[in-house]
Amino acid sequence: MKKVVAFIGSPRKNGNTATLVLEVVKGAEAAGAQVKVFPINEMNIRPCQSCFSCRKQYGCPIDDDMKSVYEEIKQADAVVIGSPVYMLQVSGQVKVLFDRLFPLMDADFSPRCGIKKTVMIYSQGQTGADSFKASFDLNASVLQVMGLQIAETIVCTGANRPDTAAGDAKLLQRAFEVGRKLAE
């Protein structure tokens, strides 16, 4: 059985990001995967303190909710990360998560936990799916060094209302199918 870890990086509990992440989760579960969902905004995740303890050993000395995240990612086959686009980039919640994923990479910049198939989900107000491509490419490069290899990117465009994704049957179907593929 495949294991998938999903992160919802939006402060909106029922917004576009959550809708799409949970649709990917439904697809993965329908295909037999075991899934753990982390709503980042509800978690206690402190920013990286640049202590470099994680260069010596896997993990982080900060005593917060990331302790369980590291173990879940280590055991996972796939990772899903969803974020609204704020100021051309991921939300602050997701940026803190990215920084705290530093222990996934050892001192010589090799992935410590292997390669994880990763899905990035973005919701944005702009109507062009490529409006923030440079930021999305940068995120993919950062995550790749940590072993999070982007397999799919889903972008919900024109998402100025929290129910935009929920009203897009084609986008929901794509998210569901992407989730099913993660369980293969």
For the residues of 101-151, what is the DSSP string, one character each?
TGGGB-TTS-BSS--EEEEEEEE-SSS-TTTTHHHHHHHHHHHHHTTEEEE
Q: What is the pLDDT averaged over residues 28-55? A: 97
Q: What is the pLDDT averaged over residues 19-27? A: 98
pLDDT of residue 72: 97
pLDDT of residue 130: 95
Q: Which tokens go with 124?
A: 């944005």
Q: What is the pLDDT averaged over residues 118-138? A: 97
pLDDT of residue 14: 94
Under the banding of pLDDT at 50, 70 and 90, the label for residue 89 is: very high
Q: What is the pLDDT averaged over residues 127-151? A: 97
Average model confidence (pLDDT) across the chain? 97
pLDDT of residue 15: 98
pLDDT of residue 93: 98
Q: What percent of the chain has pLDDT over 70?
A: 100
Beta strands in the chain (DSSP E): 3-8, 34-39, 78-86, 89-90, 116-123, 148-156
Domain boundaries along the sequence of the chain: 3-182
Q: Give pLDDT tens digits for 24-33.
A: 999 999 999 9
* Homologous superfamily of 3-182: Flavodoxin domain (3.40.50.360)
Half-sphere exposure (CA, 13 Å, Cβ side) for 167? 9
Q: What is the pLDDT averaged over residues 135-161? A: 97
